[in-house]
Amino acid sequence: MKFNRLLFTTVVLSAVAVQSQTTEKKNQLEFSVGNNFGFLKNLEFAPVAMYEYEGLVYKLNYTRTSKNENLFEVKLDYLSAGLKTDRLSNLNTDYSKVGLGFSYLKDIYSKDKFTIYVGLQSQTNTSIYSNPNTSTFNNGDYYTLHQEFGITGKLRYQINENQYLSSKLTLPVVLFRVTNAEGKFYTIDKYQSVLWDLEYGYKLSNHFDVKATYNFNYARLQVPSAYRELQHQLNLGINYKF
């Protein structure tokens, strides 16, 4: 009897373990760290043709896959860097940026190794410039808040059982911008932007992937106080699936 119980328990536990390994995971939590380098022009803040900056960026992403294989994504990132210019050293300033994005992507095509998604995205970016020597605003602090709404598409290619490539393109069509001076809405006739992500992933186990990602972001606002920003990011991260 004891042997039979032990055998039964072993079989049940083995079946549960196999099922856990073969069941597709619907949730993914990713943490990554990378290097960000870019260029920034904001004439409302300082009369500098173009700042240069470089710094570390930290990212925390969550993805939920529905029963219909649609994706719900939440992305949080933080960047801290110093804006530098050759014009005058006292125009250099500290710069930090926090981004929060939500996107819903519908699976519209799946065949063989290819999957195509199309959906909507909301992106909120808050930037803070802090140096009393470079700003005419109260206490030397200047901030911007950008709330973007746009369309997005994603292509995923499964190279083999353990490797995949993914590319995501987002085109914002509406911007709500708040600064120390004003708050206004802009559409694509005044505001143009593109966000592109290229990702390579390698499966370590049923629960963990490692990832390498390149992110490109360009934004241009055509107003009297001109604003432009160009960013490049290279990130390495680990993804936990559950």
Per-residue pLDDT of the chain (242 residues; tens, 9 = 90+): 554 554 445 544 444 444 444 567 899 999 999 999 999 999 988 889 899 999 999 999 999 999 999 999 999 999 999 999 987 778 899 999 999 999 999 999 999 999 999 999 999 999 999 865 544 555 567 999 999 999 999 999 999 999 999 999 999 999 999 998 889 999 999 999 999 999 999 999 999 999 999 999 999 998 878 999 999 999 999 999 99
Query: Distance (Å, rounded) from C-alpha 37 to C-alpha 34?
Result: 10
Predicted confidence at residue 16, as pLDDT, reads: 42
CB 222 within 8 A of CB 229: no
Predicted confidence at residue 1, as pLDDT, reads: 57
Query: Distance (Å, rounded) from C-alpha 40 to C-alpha 28?
Result: 33
CA dihedral 47, 149, 196, 214 (to 10 degrees): 80
26-241 has which CATH code? 2.40.128.90
Query: Distance (Å, rounded) from C-alpha 78 to C-alpha 32?
Result: 11
Query: Distance (Å, rounded) from C-alpha 166 to C-alpha 158?
Result: 9
Strand spans (E) along 7-87: 27-42, 51-65, 71-83
Domain ranges (residues) in the chain: 26-241
pTM: 0.85
CB 157 within 8 A of CB 198: no
- Residues 6+ positions from 110 with CB-CB distance below 8 Å: 69, 116
Using DSSP, how many helices (H) and how many strands (E) does the chain show?
1, 11
Query: Distance (Å, rounded) from C-alpha 220 to C-alpha 200?
Result: 28
Query: Distance (Å, rounded) from C-alpha 161 to C-alpha 207?
Result: 14
Predicted confidence at residue 8, as pLDDT, reads: 47
Residue at 149: amino acid letter: F
